[in-house]
Amino acid sequence: MQEDFVYRKQEWKPGNMLYPVPAVMVTVADKAGRDNIITVAWTGTICTNPPMAYISVRPERFSYQMIAQTGEFVINLTTRELTYATDYCGVKSGRDIDKFAALHLTRQKASKVAPPLIGESPVNMECRVTQCIELGSHHMFLAEVVAVHASEAYMDKSGKFHLEQAEPIIYSHGAYYGLNDILGTFGYSVKKKKQ
């Protein structure tokens, strides 16, 4: 029966199947002021108050030592327009190239941390590391969000921010996807219908 087929499952070896995930570009800088961009998919929200986020990075990555040395980074949200740059920053090493120059991205000065913001990103979150947890293949940097920058290009006249207009992207199983349709808003499942 078709119904039986729909519910049949295969058991696989343990692995990360929590998809889709955000694909963000993280900017970092060392104490000498040399900066870099690394693409990270292992990232997310930890806490509302204080506002906290995390990124998980392999210790062998060029950017890892910059974060470990300074305890600072910026999470830059990505868009359809930034898809190429997002992929490039994930596969090219900053040891070999200035990614800002190669991709014609705009460095913007952050207000609280040394790493720059990516001007083309619609949202930039300045972060200070509070703890590094060594977990295995990746080390998780827990960080307090110390400043957020949102592009005025996506704000309406009332000041409401419309991230969907920037066409954010996500990552799933080796591919980048756009987000198109709103399927519901928070609380819509229990909201009373207007008569």
**All domains in the chain, ordered by first residue:** 18-178 (2.30.110.10)
pLDDT at residue 71 in the model: 98
pTM over 0.95: no
Q: At residue 86, what are phi and psi to the nearest 5 degrees?
A: -60, -45
Q: What's residue 179's pLDDT?
A: 85
Predicted confidence pLDDT, tens digits, the chain (195 residues):
566 777 888 899 998 888 999 999 999 999 999 999 999 999 999 999 999 999 999 999 999 999 999 999 999 999 999 999 999 999 999 998 999 999 999 999 999 999 999 999 999 999 999 999 999 999 999 999 999 999 999 999 999 999 999 999 999 988 999 986 666 667 776 787 776
How many CB atoms within 10 Å of residue 67? 26
CB contact at 8 A, 44 and 22: yes
Cis peptide before 122 (omega within 30 of 0): no
